[in-house]
Amino acid sequence: MPERAVPDETTALRAEVVNWMRAHLVGDFAPLRHRGHAGDGDALPELRKRWERELASGGWTCVGWPREHGGRGLSITEQVAFQEEYARAGGPGRMGHIGEGLIGPTLIAYGTESQKARFLPRILGGEDFWCQGYSEPGAGSDLAALRTRATRDPATGDWLVSGQKIWTSLAHVSDWIFALARCEEGSVGRKGLIFLMLPLRQPGVTIHPIRQMGGGEEFNSVFFDNARASAEDVVGEPGEGWSIAMALLGFERGVSTLGQQMVFAEELQLIIDIARENGAAHAPVIRQRIARAWIGLRALRFSALRVLGADGSAPLGREALGYKYQWSNWHRDLGRLAMDVLGGDANIISDDPRRARLQQLFLFSRADTIYGGTNEIQLNIIAEQGLGMPREPRGSLT
């Protein structure tokens, strides 16, 4: 296990989390232990929603939000401690993470007082679940090419939205979607966009699950056919949606990555255990790859702590740009290592939960270098923003 960041400051908090998890992740909630993480994101959704409400009852949702908005106002170091102990206790993947980590902080920064009053308490309480409607067919890496349209209903002032979003994680179990749409006729690229919040349960919205190669159905296509967004549910000014959408992405590199690394550590430990059992640990190349993976995980931890400034240093500048590339490629390589350690067994579906977990790890980790910005896009960002290289040609539209 990775060592702790600053034990002295967080010892009491860590003990509080450990005790609370020990008392609450039991009984009806026991099946949730270690469930719902990457590749298993559609597991037990209703029970995980109940778990969110259980967390809320203990004050363990939105722990980094300011106290005035119902959070605990924890420092970055304390949030890291919470995430690590939560994951170490087997806490399930958080159904509320998009509300808590993305739209909530965006509303705190840019929302109207009435939006904060309506939406934040329901995110905090585990009552509303959110999904992110950015990508479209033909608009993923090049998000500004999106074509979903929003037009004003002259009778009510509401916005009527038509178009298609794709790869929308958890839409099938969410209540609300925040979406980027084109609201100015004839506009192109980043101009003329609007950032809207829409309830998903309404006649103009159809959700089709997309089956992933691991068998899960964590993401979806979302079709809008004159779906309605209230005029009050626009964040920022109509036409200025791009800046809100980008600000929201800035909240994405959160402290939850430290909890994610605890899950990575468990996966690596499972690979080590199986390598010992099936003899793969005797193969020199496998041993070296395992050792390299361990070093890589330690490096990831220190990178994450530095990026967040949780190790006492000031948050990094351009070095932070490399973190997504670093963790996603490390994890994708871990998936390959898992398959090589399993050897021929990797190809056989069985009831052995440990083998199934590694197979899922391999299959799902292929997506790590796609979502949140593909490898190629990350490298472009590092080259252009970090190293001052010339921008790649982007055509006349963006």
Ligand X SMILES: Cc1cc2nc3c(=O)[nH]c(=O)nc-3n(C[C@H](O)[C@H](O)[C@H](O)COP(=O)(O)OP(=O)(O)OC[C@H]3O[C@@H](n4cnc5c(N)ncnc54)[C@H](O)[C@@H]3O)c2cc1C
Active site residue 16: no
> Rounded to whole angstroms, how far apart are CA atoms 195 and 58?
33
Q: Which is nearer to ligand X, 343 or 386 (CB)?
A: 386
> Site residues (CB under 6 A) for ligand X?
131-135, 140-141, 167-169, 219, 367, 370-371, 374, 376-377, 380, 392
> Rounded to whole angstroms, how far apart are CA atoms 229 and 12?
45
Residue with token string 């896009």: 377
> Rounded to whole angstroms, how far apart are CA atoms 145 and 80?
36
The minimum distance between CB 132 and ligand X, in angstroms, equals 4
Residue whose C-alpha is closest to residue 65's, from 230, 317, 251:
251
Q: Which is nearer to ligand X, 168 or 303 (CB)?
A: 168
Catalytic residue among 16, 127, 217, 252: 252
The minimum distance between CB 165 and ligand X, in angstroms, equals 6
Q: Identify the three-state secondary structure at position 166.
A: strand
Structure tokens at 203: 């006649």
Q: Identify the three-state secondary structure at position 120.
A: helix
What type of residue is 28? D
As a whole number of Å, the end-to-end CA separation of the chain is: 45
Structure tokens at 287: 């041993």
**Residues 229-257, buried b or exposed e (16+ Cβ, 10 A)?**
beeebbbbebebbbebbebbeebbbbbbb
Q: What's the longest Cα–Cα distance across the chain?
A: 73
Residue whose C-alpha is closest to residue 78's, from 2, 1, 8, 3:
8
The minimum distance between CB 54 and ligand X, in angstroms, equals 25
Structure tokens at 126: 């585990």
Q: What sign does the dihedral 259-133-45-339 (CA atoms) show?
A: negative
Non-local CB neighbours of 372 within 8 Å, separated by 6+ positions: 252, 324, 328
Q: Which is nearer to ligand X, 148 or 168 (CB)?
A: 168
Q: Which is nearer to ligand X, 26 or 397 (CB)?
A: 397
Q: How many CB atoms lie within 10 A of CB 199?
A: 16
Structure tokens at 319: 């070095």
Q: Which is nearer to ligand X, 74 or 321 (CB)?
A: 321
> Rounded to whole angstroms, how far apart are CA atoms 166 and 334?
28
- Give me the numbers of helices (H) and strands (E) for the chain, helices first please: 12, 8
The minimum distance between CB 388 and ligand X, in angstroms, equals 18
> Rounded to whole angstroms, how far apart are CA atoms 351 and 354?
9
The minimum distance between CB 272 and ligand X, in angstroms, equals 27
Residue 41, CB half-sphere, CA atoms under 13 Å: how many?
25
The minimum distance between CB 39 and ligand X, in angstroms, equals 9
Contact between 107 and 235 (Cβ < 8 Å):
yes
Q: What residues are labeled active site?
A: 252
